[in-house]
Structure 1
Amino acid sequence: MKNEKGFTLVEMMIVMLVISVLLIITIPNVAKHNTNINNKGCEAYVKMVQAQVQSYMMEKNQVPTLAQLSTDGYLNENATGCPNGTKVVSIDAEGKVTAVAKPTN
């Protein structure tokens, strides 16, 4: 009989079990951190829009709308909400920027 080198079926199944346990542990943590990352991105976007509103107010002496910011080049043309798409950005009469949840249909 030849002396063949390789893995036995039991060894391969143990490796698959270890990999499965590691995946079961890591997937929920990744999903939880994904939500935090999206929230931080939305907060950063609101701060950026607030800075653009202040810049517009200094130059034009009026409170802008999102449409005015877009047409004058302060924001991208399609910038109406947070990058993750869950919240809509709005500007009130005093120039304060807020993000609120999108209304459901």
Structure 2
Amino acid sequence: MKKRVKNYLINLMKKSRKQSGFTLIEMVIVIAIIVMLLIIIAPNLVNQRNHAQKKTDEAFVTTLQTQVELYQDNHPGKKVTSLDVLKDGDYLTKDQESKLGKYEIDKDGKVRQKQ
């Protein structure tokens, strides 16, 4: 009986000395799964960013078109041939004025983004 208890205690001590944790292979597998998820997600994030930028540009074109029409209402008889005339009044903020270089006005008086 003493020998059995002694062997039981020795086995118990051996088990308690083992440290539990992740093996190197388990860590490599986890990292591989994370990398695969990033590979799947990254292109979608880039597409969403491009889509958001496109919508922002479309909204700014609408804002500029509205300001051109407001300018023409305030200055009857003057045809707007350049968006630079909007800088002379309170039509645009300084931030909006800095973005004017990417846009132009066509023959019909419509604002569009430069090609």
TM-score for both structures, normalised by structure 2: 0.71
Larger radius of gyration: 2
Structure 2: tracts of 5 or more residues without a match: 1-13
Q: How far is the alpha carbon of 1:49 from its aligned partner?
A: 0.2
Tell me the distance in 1 between the aligned counterparts of 2:113 and 2:83: 13
For residues 48-77 of structure 1, the C-alpha deviation after alignment (integer angstroms, 9 at most, x for no partner) is: 100111111111223333211012131233
Query: Which of the pair is proportionally richer in helix?
Result: 2
Q: How far is the alpha carbon of 1:46 from its aligned partner?
A: 0.5
Answer yes or no: is 1:40 the counterpart of 2:55: yes
2:44 aligned residue: 29
The 5 A counterparts of 1:1-105 are 1=14, 2-61=17-76, 62-64=78-80, 65-75=82-92, 76=94, 77-81=97-101, 88-101=102-115
2:8 aligned residue: none
Identity of aligned residues (%): 36
Structure 1: tracts of 5 or more residues without a match: 82-87
Report the RMSD for the aligned CA atoms in angstroms.
1.8
Tell me the distance in 2 between the aligned counterparts of 1:63 and 1:74: 16
Runs of 4+ in 1 over 6 A off after TM superposition: none
Aligned length: 95
Q: How far is the alpha carbon of 1:36 from its aligned partner?
A: 1.6
Query: Which of the pair is proportionally richer in strand?
Result: 1
